[in-house]
Amino acid sequence: MISGIRITKLLSIKDYRGELTEIFRLSDLPDFKFKQSNFVRSKAGVLRGVHVHKQHTDYLIILEGRATIGMKDLRRDSDTHGEFLSIEVTGEELTSIVIPPGVAHGFYFHEPSLHIYQVDEYWNPKDELGCFWADPDLGMKWPQSDVILSERDANLPPLKVLLEQLTV
């Protein structure tokens, strides 16, 4: 496990009418005060990332679909520096994931998916760093090599450049 990552299976109460799931409780994350929430739909085969933030924490939940989430600790002062974690999450078994600043992360969507994420700082383009998802130095293993990328993600620099950006 990577230090600071929190993975929590969420309890859903189901009955003949449908389902209720509590997705956030401040008492569980008292230091997390989110300032912005985002709703994202992804097509099958999309890979978002690999991104890292110097300043903000992400709190996310896959509501529908299925995704593999890869994370790598790039924090030099972390006891898990260099560690890699890959998990698969689905909308069938709701799970919240907290990703702290300095942990690189990417999402591969196996099928059409919907996720929400909340952040504890407002969006800031200066805090949107990243590296090329298939850089061998990153060491992230993805389920597919033929992926759909945004233009930005397709042109992200190698990990070596990202590490230099993080030290500035």
Q: Given pLDDT bands bounded at 50, 70 and 90, which one contains residue 18?
A: very high
pLDDT tens readout for residues 56-89:
999 999 999 999 999 999 999 999 999 999 999 9
Q: Given pLDDT bands bounded at 50, 70 and 90, which one contains residue 30?
A: confident
For residue 1, tell me if it sits in a domain.
no
pLDDT tens readout for residues 157-166:
999 999 999 8
Query: pLDDT at residue 168 above 80?
Result: no
Helix (H), strand (E) at residue 104 = strand 103-109
Q: What is the pLDDT of residue 28?
A: 87
Catalytic residue among 51, 56, 105, 115: 51
Task: Give the total number of structural domains in the chain.
Answer: 1
Catalytic residue among 56, 59, 105, 117: 117
Query: pLDDT at residue 26 above 90?
Result: no
* 122 carries an active-site annotation: no
* 16 carries an active-site annotation: no
Q: What is the pLDDT of residue 59?
A: 96
Between CA 119 and CA 36 the distance in angstroms is: 6
By residue range, what is the domain housing residue 149?
6-167
pLDDT tens readout for residues 104-157:
999 999 999 999 999 999 999 889 999 999 999 999 989 999 999 999 999 999
CA distances from 119 to 62, 125, 147 (A): 15, 14, 26
Q: What average pLDDT does the segment 45-61 reach? A: 96
pLDDT tens readout for residues 83-108:
999 999 999 999 999 999 999 999 99
* Tokens encoding 64: 């529908």
Beta-ladder partners of 115: 40, 62
Q: What is the CATH classification number for the domain harbouring 138? A: 2.60.120.10
- Before 50, cis peptide (omega within 30)? yes
Q: What is the pLDDT of residue 1?
A: 86
For residue 137, tell me if it sits in a domain.
yes
Whole-structure pTM value: 0.93
For residue 161, tell me if it sits in a domain.
yes
Query: pLDDT at residue 50 above 90?
Result: yes
Q: What average pLDDT does the segment 20-40 reach? A: 90
Q: Give the SS3 label for residue 72.
A: strand
